[in-house]
Structure 1
Amino acid sequence: MSDKEDMVADGSLNVTLTLRLLMHGKEVGSIIGKKGETVKKMREESGARINISEGSSPERIVTITGPTEGIFRAFSMIAQKFEEDITAAMTNSNVTSKPPVTLRLVFPGSQCGSLIGKGGSKIKEIRETTGAQVQVAGDMLPDSTERAVTISGTPQAITQCVRHICSVMLESPPKGATIPYRPKGIPAGAHAVLAQQHPAQAFAFPGQYAFAHQDLTKLHQLAMQHIPLPSLGQSNPTFPGYDPSGLTSSQELAIPNDFIGCIIGRQGSKINEIRQVSGAHIKIASATDGSAMRQVTITGSPASISVAQYLINARLSSVLTGLGVL
């Protein structure tokens, strides 16, 4: 443990930090409580500022700001409230095994490398020391330079995990400007599927399908292994609810000139891999004089377009964060 980590752990380094949480509407309702009584009590007892984003989005951002000890108290109270909700839900169901409390942090992508550590050493240390499960999303949240960091376990384990995360934030400040993630409402006419079950995370593409994060991870692993998906055109038990049928359509993306090379890869290796895994036809327009962007047209079924978009975004995010090349 570093000196700063020691100081954060015993509370002697009481600097002001801000942590952001991503919550579904039902979770937010639990935190607010009747007439706002629960969140008022949390603010008073923790000493931290707790702000909840406005809007009609199914997801909301909960911002917690204050001295480190105040942040730890706020997280402890939130985790304890969710633990109580889980216990209450279990009394009216046949579930016998108690699921862990799960929180999703929204974390600057430039700090994720420090949180993971060389060869995954830091995140492994946090898991072993706290007993909490910690997962860093492989791709950035839409229209931002932030990633989702999911932590789950007992309220005590989660609070200890947050102590470690605060230490990482102090030791490795964000590099460059951070574009914060802002949840959007469901656009009219979109067929996005929102993951209702807690704690699955859904990534939706406008007007396309959404996949729970673990399913995207499977696709990502298949892409890494250069394995084609011959069953994408059939019912695939690996991806529940995944229906690639539908009329052929097209989607256009604008990619900065500086990053088009990483999408194409050496001698077209990366773009061919994306075509093979997704089953979509992908065309990259020639560079236009004076334009900083290149037009990329993806054609195929709605599902194959979604897969291609995901793989392109994952490729871009890996290069942007400098955490290795996919």
Structure 2
Amino acid sequence: MSSDSPIQAELAIQPISRSPSPAGGDVLTLRSLVSTKDAGVIIGKGGKNVAELRDQTAVKAGVSKVIAGVHERVLTVTGSVEGVAKAYAMIVSQLSSASAASPGSPSPDAQSSIRLLISHNLMGSVIGRSGLKIKAIQDASGARMFAQKDMLPQSTERIVEVHGSSESIGRAIEDIGRALLEDWERGAGTVLFHPGVADERSGRRPGQQPGRRSNGDAPRGRGSPSPNSPATQPSNLRTQNISIPSDMVGCIIGRNGTKITEIRRLSGSKISIAKEPHDETGERMFTIVGTPEANEKALFLLYNQLESEKERRVGREQMQQDELQD
């Protein structure tokens, strides 16, 4: 059985669609977050359920490995849009049947849900201008959809919950899949979410002791050359573009550019920031140029900064609410 590698790197980067173009015959990869219990149902005894799923839908499907102390796993389904939609409909049906068989569970007619992992850069493709796209998908499929506002820790993915019957969820996922493939290029550079890869607040790898550096974080000696010096300029440079909400750009740049300068220094990547929003979402484009390793470090630092700012704002709002209640 194929499976995600849970900790190949802190930030695994790959596009939503592996297809070279949005022409016919596209292949869609759609990930979702499932509980460890549901993962067992999806796999089935001896892999029976997932094998039947592959046979009936012609998709590739797998669940990430179990990580001690982590209660969620990632389901990955790859295939044609129709095949992926049919596979998810079958999965929802399996989960509903398993839930109905449990004592004290809701009736089989109760609605189910699936938590899709969608690249932040592709959310506009799913939601549409003024929410028209997501409304059209809901009206056509009969499913209800809820997009979470915040990105998941250490990633550029967000959760889109799809609620309804297995049939309506399947129809919604087919429409979502087509929308993702239409704008597949915007999904390039997605930082995938891996449950349990790092502590949410500290960014440490599981088991890494506080204050202990990983090999890649060892400080350079005083005589070490700068990563951007011509003598050490690598040949395998990569360019990645990510979108950042406009109201978060200031916290990344910092006063007099101190924070973005530090991120550039620590990662070794060159980072440029668009002066104007790139589309109707009002988000600003960040362009990162460096080696794959340097870019991963830059993305890690950028999103750590975003997480810290979000926590700071939540804390400030809570304090304001407490003051109003006093």
Shift of residue 73 of structure 1? 2.2
Structure-2 residue corresponding to 1:143: 154
Of 64, 81, 85, which aligns to 2:77? 64
Of 249, 253, 258, which aligns to 1:287? 258
- Structure 2 residues not aligned, in runs of 5+: 1-22, 204-243, 266-306, 315-326
Shift of residue 81 of structure 1? 0.4
Q: In the alignment, is the contact (CA less than 8 A) between 1:23 and 1:61 conserved in 2?
A: yes
Q: In the alignment, is the contact (CA less than 8 A) between 1:136 and 1:150 conserved in 2?
A: yes
SS at match of 1:127: helix
Q: For the aligned residues, what is the CA RMSD?
A: 3.8
SS at match of 1:292: helix
Of 182, 190, 208, which aligns to 1:178? 190
Q: In the alignment, is the contact (CA less than 8 A) between 2:117 and 2:157 conserved in 1?
A: yes
Of 75, 83, 107, which aligns to 2:88? 75
Q: In the alignment, is the contact (CA less than 8 A) between 2:154 and 2:193 conserved in 1?
A: yes
Distance (Å, rounded) in 1 between the aligned partners of 2:192 and 2:45: 30
Structure-1 residue corresponding to 2:175: 164
Q: In the alignment, is the contact (CA less than 8 A) between 2:100 and 2:107 conserved in 1?
A: no
Shift of residue 131 of structure 1? 1.1
Q: In the alignment, is the contact (CA less than 8 A) between 2:100 and 2:108 conserved in 1?
A: no
Q: In the alignment, is the contact (CA less than 8 A) between 1:14 and 1:69 conserved in 2?
A: no
Q: Which deviations, in whole Å up to 9, do the C-alpha atoms of 1:204-224 show, x marking residues without a partner? A: 6569xxxxxxxxxxxxxxxxx
Change (3 A) 1:73 1:26: same
Shift of residue 293 of structure 1? 7.2
- Structure 1 residues not aligned, in runs of 5+: 1-11, 188-203, 208-258, 271-282, 295-306, 315-326
Structure 2 counterpart of 1:70, one-letter code = G
Distance (Å, rounded) in 1 between the aligned partners of 2:247 and 2:260: 20
Q: In the alignment, is the contact (CA less than 8 A) between 1:139 and 1:313 conserved in 2?
A: no
Q: How many residues align?
A: 209
Shift of residue 163 of structure 1? 1.0
Change (3 A) 1:174 1:134: farther
- Following TM superposition, where does structure 1 have runs of at least 4 consecutive aligned residues deviating by more than 2 angstroms? 12-15, 94-99, 204-207, 261-265, 283-294, 307-314
Distance (Å, rounded) in 1 between the aligned partners of 2:177 and 2:259: 45
Greater relative contact order, per chain length (Cα 8 Å cut-off, separation 6+): 2
Q: Following superposition of structure 1 onto structure 2, how do residues 7-26 of structure 1 map, counting pairs within 5 Å?
A: 13-26=24-37
Structure-2 residue corresponding to 1:55: 66
Shift of residue 286 of structure 1? 8.9
SS at match of 1:142: coil
Identity of aligned residues (%): 28
SS at match of 2:74: strand
Q: Which deviations, in whole Å up to 9, do the C-alpha atoms of 1:86-138 show, x marking residues without a partner? A: 3223xx22756954111011111111011111111111111111110111110
Distance (Å, rounded) in 1 between the aligned partners of 2:313 and 2:144: 25
Distance (Å, rounded) in 1 between the aligned partners of 2:46 and 2:76: 19
Is 1:114 the equivalent of 2:146? no
Structure 2 counterpart of 1:36, one-letter code = G
Of 131, 138, 144, which aligns to 1:127? 138
Structure 2 counterpart of 1:182, one-letter code = H
Shift of residue 50 of structure 1? 0.4
Shift of residue 309 of structure 1? 5.2
